[in-house]
Amino acid sequence: MLIYRFLTGEDTSAFCHKVTKALSEGWQLHGSPSYAFDGATMKMKCGQAVTREVADQPYDPDRKLTDYV
């Protein structure tokens, strides 16, 4: 089963660390990153989709995606 996450955050090194952590846990980049200005906070925001292949199992929307193995 393929699972999907969309990581978001302010344009800081913390966002890069969030993506790097996901990659180190077996997630793979999916598509291009996004970058947008948030007029409410007056800051730039980043987003990156990641996917990971896990063993076939029933999908449970109440389960955290990071708990799938």
pLDDT over 90 (residue 69)? no
pTM of the model: 0.86
Domain ranges of the chain: 1-25
Q: Are 22 and 65 in contact (CB under 8 A)?
A: no
Distance of alpha carbon 49 from alpha carbon 22, whole angstroms: 10
Q: In the predicted model, is pLDDT for residue 66 greater than 90?
A: no
pLDDT one-digit tens code per residue, 2-57: 999 999 999 999 999 999 999 999 999 999 999 999 999 999 999 999 999 999 99
Cβ contacts of residue 8 below 8 Å, gap of 6+? 15, 45, 46, 47
User: For the residues of the chain, what is the DSSP string, one character each?
Assistant: -EEEEEEEEESSHHHHHHHHHHHHTT-EEEEEEEEEEETTTTEEEEEEEEEEE-------TTS-GGG--
